[in-house]
Amino acid sequence: MSGDEAMVHTDVHVVRRRARRVGARAAVHAVLIGYSLLAVGPALLVVANSFKERQAIFDSPFSLPTPSTWDTSGYETVFDEASFPTYFRNSLMVTLLSVLGVIVVSAMAAHALSEFDFRGRGLLRIYLLAGIMVPIRLATVGLVELFGSLEMINTLWALILVYIAMGIPLGIFILSQFFAQVPTELKQAARVDGAGEWRVFAVTLPLVRPGLGAVAVFTMLPVFNDLWFPLVLAPGESTRTMTLGAQQFLGQFETNWNAMLAALSLAIVPVLVLYVLFSRQFLRGLTEGAIK
Amino acid sequence: MQTRKLMAGVLVAGLLAAACGSGDEDAGGGGGGDGDAVTLVVESWRADDKAVWEDTIIPAFEESHEGIELEFQPTAPTEYNAALENRLDGGEAGDIIACRPFDISLELFEAGHLEAVDDLEGMDAFDDVARSGWVTDDGATTYCVPMASVIHGFYYNKDVFDELGLEPPTTTEDLHTVLDAIAADGAATPIAQGTVDQWDIAEVDYTGIGPNYWKGEEGRQALIDGSAQFTDPEYVAPFEELATWGQYMPDGYEALSYDDAKVLFTNGDGAIFPGGSWEITGFERDAGFELGVFAPPLPTDGDPCYISDHVDIGMGMNADTEHADEARTFLEWVASEEFAQLYSNELPGFFSLREGAVEVDNALADDFVSWRDDCESTIRLPAQKLNRGDPAMWDELYAVSSEVVNGTLTPADAAQRLQEGLDSWYTPSE
Amino acid sequence: MSDPSVRLAPAFAASSPRRRRLRSPGARALLFCAPALVIYSTFMVWPLLQSLRFALLDDAGDWVGLDNFDKLFGDPLWSERFWRALRQNMQFFLFHCLVQNPVGLTLAALLTVQRLRGANVYRTLIFVPTTLSVVIVGFAWRLILSPLWGIVHTPLLGRTSTALPTLSLISVWQWIGIPMIFFYATLISIPKELIDASRVDGASAWRTFWRVSFPLVLPMFGVITIVTYIANMNAFDLVFTVQGVQAGPAYSTDLLGTLFYRSAYGSVQGGGDRAMGATVASATFAVILVGLLLFFLVWRRRVRTYQL
């Protein structure tokens, strides 16, 4: 690495390489921008058209609303006719309580499964994890009978319990890997200090937070967007969720596209907000070894 | 840090709001508000009628029946049967059940989910035809109060017809002349329809134009008693007519739904919409042009005419209801003249099945109902008895009629498939 | 090579350290597992068994043994329905594998390009479809693909030859976020030293990807394939929302999920049979199990060197 000649040579190389790298970067951005557009396009289409007057929706469905085509009558219809605030509240309550329930219950079980050595641990794990591959929809008839006999049809609790049950297998699967990674010394130290098992659990919980984030997102998305169980277990006006409300709305205003688009747009927002809020924990949860 | 705080805040606020909110709900639902009023929940697939029920029908009922409140709880039509069945099995369905005609409700009755309604006051105003959709095979027990029938026909855009100097067709030949003229002009699609939903092709098209070929009830009964087969010319001919319709439908009609077609038509881009009286309210609201209707065209001029005048909706009571007396009171009101008057006028196109004329103040509805004077009424071909086995004739008819329009199945093969399917399980009894 | 694979290895591998034997760990474990066990058993396992029990009864509730299965596989009508749905479901799954793995991996690889600006934004945007409800997805794509108002005038959803591929692509579009994020998570957890070492040796980014990153991502294909398989065998909502319960045209988009629905609850005009619904459900369950077993036999042997 000495001599001017060599220096010049490297310079040319570096310049060329840099040029190539700039080109490559531009290409990477182009591809990612292109795919991002494809990803958000359909949702944007729904939102954009919800602010357009009816005729403009069909004349040029792919253009943005302009002052001359601006029309919010769809939203007015939605807020006049449908109990959207109620639906929204129901969805929020069901989603948040289900997520909370799955997290608490699976964290406890995952802690036990990775912490205690006891006979039947393997079997218990298999039993709890088997549910990952079973579609709970197959259990509909049994669920309806069960909740019927408990007189819990048309309550939000019916939904919440089903969703917690549905989320437990995956929750335990993800979290037990996190719990196993918690340094033993830490738990031992707590125990030596005379802490009870609850205390040990409480000490380890913050360490598995990324795992909790991942579980939250994986539980939240299917719960918020579920159409089936709200339809079967809680179709009543006062317990209707947002997704079901939007679906019913489609039936009610088959040809009132303004109202339909407004209802759909409103259904996009909450879960998107929740996702963005949780997404960092979610990603950390995935990158820190949960899914391998 | 910021995000985390925000997140926690949102979580807590959400939970609080949800918790408080649900508290209110419980108080309201528990019947605390209005003394000891009983609330009857009405199950229905007519989500479209929600506003009419809430604004007109329910207030009218509650005004004259103190102590009973109604809640109209519709489920989208495609999910109604499954959702209702699940809720009935789980013992948690509404008190009042909107009844689909024929076997769907018959099954519910046989499973003990619906009560007999013969002894209700006002039931004597419904004759056998009116009851036919909700009566046991032996004719002894009626389990739903008949509410309304719907009549099939063709809507047309009067502006398009006037511009081209066309008259509504009365024969199949006329129809083709009209369709060709509209196609040649090119401004509007001759037939606003698509085949992706399938049900409209089977229910509206095939069983709409078909009765003129198979002579209404005569042909329908002949299939049931086994004296005729789907492969007979009178059942194949409507398929042959349908096979020519694809070319008059919009480009890509194979992927257009019934709702797409409605938008196309009400936007003024389609000339003719094969439909039925149930669309009157929606079309009058959405269409920016003058609407007309014509009856299914005749194969030959001067033939007697037949129309599909299908018993479509009834009301029954959930056998498990905790408010049987109130439910009966409500059903008696549904059987009354007051209800017939109210319902027919609020939802023109749903024609009351009660004996004695009901005044309907709607020109299109009048047109539809006027066909009853000249033509014989019948119901949709496979609705009764033929849909009970496997393969069910409705399912088969959905599939084959849309395939005939799409051009992927010949009329003869379609008829063949129907008959083979029927033969595999059905033995004519009478 | 062994070093990174240990780091990537599952936490299970960091096997049981010595624990002080406290009094009856079993009892304590039970206490901690109790809420999960109770909820899971009551609201998932029990109703599931209850539902599957119907496969052994007739519609009236009388015991018929395996008659219903006999009907499903013996009756020409039912066996045609079942095998058609299974075949189409497999095609649906194959489409997912063929499209989502390369596309998901490409996106993930691009997102992990070093010091890429806006990577977080891209990642969030690409994940958006996964957060949408199927009601919105169905509606938006029907509008986009509408021959009347959309961008293509061929009735993609209306022809037997194109309907299933189109639906599969819509489904891939919706769920691509999951494989993408799984690949992404694996890629960014590859130790930087490994990559740098390869680059210092003079390998291009392209070569480095194939020689260093790709082998480490390979096990992820297995996980994703399994997750996709289970999800696809349960697919229902999209077909139901876009094509309706008849899964048209001419049943060309019928999957096991829609067949289950029609068997149990009937189609628009009724005719459901709970026993046959439960039978189809049990058969679906068996298909999933067999698939999983096959997968573990083949896949685990293949890639034994990389721990799943």
* pLDDT tens by residue, C77-134: 899 999 999 999 999 999 999 999 999 999 999 998 878 888 888 998 999 999 898 8
Comparing A26-40, B27-41, C135-149, the range with the smallest average pLDDT is B27-41
DSSP secondary structure, C142-168, as one string: HHHT-TTTSS--S-GGGSTTTHHHHHH
| Min distance C112 CA to chain B CA atoms (Å) | 24
Interface test with B, best of A49, A84, A89, A141 (most B CBs within 10 A): A89
Chain centroid offset of residue C278 CA: 22
B22 interaction partners in chain A (CB closer than 8 Å): 89, 93, 156
Q: Is the Cβ pair B263, A231 closer than 8 Å?
A: no
> According to the model, what pLDDT value does residue A228 have?
82
pTM: 0.85
Closest-CA residue in chain A for C147? Answer: A58
- Residues of chain C neighbouring B104 (CB-CB closer than 8 A): 266, 269-270
Query: Does residue A207 contact residue A182 with C-beta atoms inside 8 Å?
Result: yes
pLDDT(A160) > 90: yes
Q: Do B19 and A86 touch (CB under 8 A)?
A: no
Quick one: chain A helix, strand, coil %, rounded to 5?
Answer: 80, 0, 20
In the prediction, which pLDDT does A179 show? 85
CA–CA distance, A119 with C26 (Å, rounded to integer): 7
Average pLDDT over residues C282-289: 89
How many Cβ atoms from other residues are within 10 Å of residue B423's Cβ? 12
- Using an 8 Å CB-CB cutoff, list chain C residues near A28: 110, 113, 116
Which comes out higher in pLDDT, residue A279 or C256?
C256
| CB pair distance less than 8 Å for A177 and C11 | yes
DSSP-assigned states of every residue in B199-249: HIIIIIIIHHHTHHHHTTHHHHHHHHTTSS-TTSHHHHHHHHHHHTTGGGS
Residue with tokens 């740098």: C196
Letter string b/e over residues B71-80, b meaning 16 or more CB atoms within 10 A of that residue's CB:
bbbbbbbbbb
Which residues in chain B are closer than 8 Å to C272, comparing Cβ atoms?
81-82, 85
Q: How many CB pairs under 8 A join B and C?
A: 118
What is the pLDDT, as a whole number, of residue B279?
92
H/E segment holding residue B26: helix B2-29
As averages over each run of 10 residues, the pLDDT of chain B (430 residues) reads 49 46 38 66 88 91 93 83 80 89 91 93 90 91 94 96 95 96 95 92 95 95 94 96 96 91 92 94 90 95 92 94 94 94 91 83 92 91 88 91 95 96 85
Please choose, from the candidates C225, C254, C256, the residue with its C-alpha nearest in 3D space to the C-alpha of residue C98. C225
pLDDT of residue A288: 65
In which band, very low, low, confident or very high, does the pLDDT at C308 lie, cut at 50, 70 and 90?
very low
Please state, for a pLDDT cut of 90, what percent of chain C lies above it.
36
Q: Which residues of C touch A118 (CB under 8 A)?
A: 25-26, 29
**Cβ A153–B87 below 8 Å, yes or no?**
yes
Which of the pair, C204 or B19, is modelled with greater confidence? C204
What is each CA distance from A162 to A147, A156, A201, B85, C66, in whole angstroms?
Answer: 10, 10, 26, 20, 30
**A118:C29 CB<8 A:** yes
pLDDT of residue A131: 85
**Which candidate from C49, C132, C188 shows the least CB-CB separation from A43?**
C132
Which residues of chain A neighbour B11 with C-beta distances below 8 Å?
A: 96
Q: What does the pLDDT average to over C232-237?
A: 88
Contact C43 A137 (CB under 8 A): no
Dist. CA C247–CA C253, nearest whole Å: 5
CB atoms C39 and A120 under 8 Å = no
Q: What's the pLDDT score for residue C19?
A: 44
Determine which of A174-188, B212-226, B239-253, C238-252 has the lowest per-residue pLDDT on average: A174-188
Residue C35: per-residue pLDDT? 94
Mean pLDDT lowest among B136-140, B260-264, C169-173, C219-223: C219-223
d(CA B222, CA B230): 10
Q: Which residue has the higher pLDDT, C205 or B6?
A: C205
Measured between beta carbons, which residues in chain A are less than 8 angstroms from residue C11?
176-178, 180-181, 289
Residue C174 tokens, joined: 């919706």
Long-range contacts: B220-228, Cβ < 8 Å, 24+? B220/B378, B220/B379, B220/B381, B220/B384, B223/B381, B223/B386, B224/B384, B224/B385, B224/B386, B224/B428, B224/B430, B225/B428, B225/B429, B225/B430, B226/B427, B226/B428, B227/B428
B: neighbours with 3+ CB pairs under 8 Å?
Answer: A, C
Judge whether A252 and A80 are in contact, CB under 8 Å. Answer: no
> How far is CA B195 from each of CA B320, B418, C158, C217, rounded to the nearest angstrom?
40, 19, 8, 45
The answer to whether the CB atoms of B257 and C142 lie below 8 A apart is yes
Contact A142 C136 (CB under 8 A): no
**Chain B residue closest to C154 (CA)?**
B252
Q: Do B255 and C270 touch (CB under 8 A)?
A: no
In this predicted structure, what is the pLDDT of residue C11?
37
Mean pLDDT of A47-58: 88
Task: Check residues A211 and B34 and name the one with the higher pLDDT.
Answer: A211
Please enumerate residues of C whose Cβ is less than 8 A from a Cβ of B. 77, 142, 145-148, 153-160, 240, 243-246, 248-251, 261, 264-273
Q: Are the beta carbons of B368 and B138 closer than 8 angstroms?
A: no
Entry field: residues in chain B = 430
pLDDT recorded at residue A205: 86
Q: In the predicted model, what is the mean pLDDT of residues A61-73?
A: 89
Region C239-252: mean pLDDT is: 88
Mean pLDDT of chain C: 84
Confidence of residue C306 (pLDDT cuts 50, 70, 90): very low
Q: Which residues of C are less than 8 Å from B77 in CB distance?
A: 268
Contacts with A104 from chain C: Cβ below 8 Å: 35
Within 8 A of A112 by CB-CB distance, chain C residues are 28-33
Tell me the range of A245-254, C44-53, C58-67 where mean pLDDT is highest: C44-53
pLDDT number for residue B307 = 95
Q: What is the pLDDT of residue C37?
A: 94
Which residue in the set C243, C249, C261 is minimally distant from B82, CB to CB? C261
Residues of C in contact with B403 (CB under 8 A): 249-250
Chain C: give the shortest CA distance to residue A116, in Å: 6
Q: Given an 8 Å threshold on Cβ–Cβ distance, is C143 in contact with A28? A: no
Cβ separation A231–B77 shorter than 8 A:
no
3-state secondary structure of B293: strand
pLDDT at residue B284 in the model: 92
Chain C hits for A166, CB-CB cut-off 8 Å, are: 44
B15 touches chain A (CB under 8 A): yes
- Taking CA–CA distances from B85, the nearest residue in chain A reads A232
A-B contacts (CB, under 8 Å) = 101
Going by C-alpha positions, the residue among A167, A164, A173, A163 that lies closest to residue A126 is A173
Q: If contacts are CB pairs under 8 Å, which of residues 48-67 in chain A contact chain C? A: 58, 61-62
CB-based contact (8 Å) between B73 and chain A? yes
The pLDDT value given to residue A6: 54
Q: Do B395 and C265 touch (CB under 8 A)?
A: no
Q: Scanning the structure block, which residue is given the tokens 């749905």?
A: C85
Question: Pick from B279, B297, B268: which is nearest to B205 by CA?
Answer: B297
Q: Long-range pairs for C114-118 at CB < 8 Å and ≥24 separation?
A: C116/A25, C116/A28, C118/A29, C118/A32
Decide if C44 contacts A172 (C-beta within 8 A).
no
Residue C253 has pLDDT above 80, yes or no: yes
B contact test, residue of C268, C273, C279 with most B CBs within 10 A:
C268
Q: Which residues contact A114 (CB under 8 A, 6 or more apart)?
A: A176, A179, A180
Task: Pull the structure tokens for residue A5.
Answer: 């000649």
Q: Does B65 touch chain A (CB under 8 A)?
A: no
Tell me whether B199 touches chain C (CB under 8 Å): yes
pLDDT at C303: 53
Q: How confident is the model at residue C305 (pLDDT cuts 50, 70, 90)?
A: very low
Q: Are A284 and B10 in contact (CB under 8 A)?
A: no
Q: Is A108 on the interface with C (CB under 8 A)?
A: yes
pLDDT at A289 (0 to 100):
52
Q: Is the pLDDT of residue A119 over 50?
A: yes
Residue C148's pLDDT is what? 87
